[in-house]
């Protein structure tokens, strides 16, 4: 994983309540931690595969999907204790995902310029920040165009729900490569959909207006 740090710049507008700021920061932080945990797991599986490829007890699974299955069945002595799946207890442990991050890997607030318009700058690992930005951009592209309109009918509501699921699936796309089961993948998707909802409400209200990645030295545009 490329550990170069990058800024996620979120454009904001309108009047914000304190609770909305807290909710938006919390949602972004939890989504960032989840994506980081998946990226960390895939990195560890690749390192494990590379380490054991020349081991004296072939055959050893080459694909990450097979490797993850092997890792679940292997004796504990073969793997370090932290090699447990992200979804070991039937739920998405955001707290556990957050604990995997070291201090210099966490998403931190660099700057907030409150105004109409204003910005929120958050700094994190570039690869993960990029995926978080892509998720926000998709939410903005869809829901900002509808903020002046109410849902026309149940079909429109269904389309919105399906789009939220589609965006969530893309955000946790690494789960498929890792070999997560359909049930586990759905748990991840469901968790991301729930975390998206406060962001969707803020986008629809015109309070989150843009998302981009910038260098740490770039001034707000």
Q: How many CB atoms lie within 10 A of CB 126?
A: 16
pLDDT at residue number 10: 97
CA dihedral (192, 198, 203, 204) positive or negative: positive
Residue ranges covered by each domain of the chain: 5-215
Strand partners, 35: none
134: enclosing H helix or E strand: helix 126-143
Q: Which two tokens stand for residue 152?
A: 């026309």
* Per-residue confidence band for 193, with pLDDT thresholds at 50, 70 and 90: very high
pLDDT at residue number 2: 72
Q: State pTM to two decimals.
A: 0.79
Q: How many CB atoms lie within 10 A of CB 79?
A: 15
* Per-residue confidence band for 36, with pLDDT thresholds at 50, 70 and 90: very high
pLDDT in tens, 75-104: 433 343 343 456 655 556 677 788 888 889
């Amino acid at each position: 994983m490329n550990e170069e740090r990058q800024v996620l710049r979120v454009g904001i507008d309108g009047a914000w309540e304190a609770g909305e700021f807290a909710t938006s920061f919390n949602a972004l932080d939890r989504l960032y931690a989840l994506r980081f945990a998946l990226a960390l797991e895939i990195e560890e599986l690749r390192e494990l595969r590379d380490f054991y490829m020349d081991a004296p007890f072939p055959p050893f699974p080459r694909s990450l999907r097979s490797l993850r299955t092997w890792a679940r069945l292997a004796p504990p002595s073969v793997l370090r204790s932290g090699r447990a799946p992200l979804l070991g207890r039937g739920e998405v442990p955001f707290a556990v995902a957050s604990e995997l991050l070291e201090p210099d890997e966490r998403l931190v607030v660099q700057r907030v310029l409150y105004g109409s318009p204003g910005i929120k700058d958050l700094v994190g690992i570039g690869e993960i920040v990029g995926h978080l930005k892509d998720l926000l951009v998709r939410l903005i592209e869809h829901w900002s165009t509808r903020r002046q309109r109410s849902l026309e009918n149940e079909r429109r509501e269904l389309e919105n729900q399906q789009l939220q699921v589609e965006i969530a699936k893309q955000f946790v796309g690494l789960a498929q490569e890792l070999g997560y089961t359909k049930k586990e993948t759905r748990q991840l998707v469901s968790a991301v959909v729930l975390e998206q909802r406060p962001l969707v409400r803020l986008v629809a209200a015109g309070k989150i207006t843009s998302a981009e990645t910038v260098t740490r030295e770039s001034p707000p545009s």
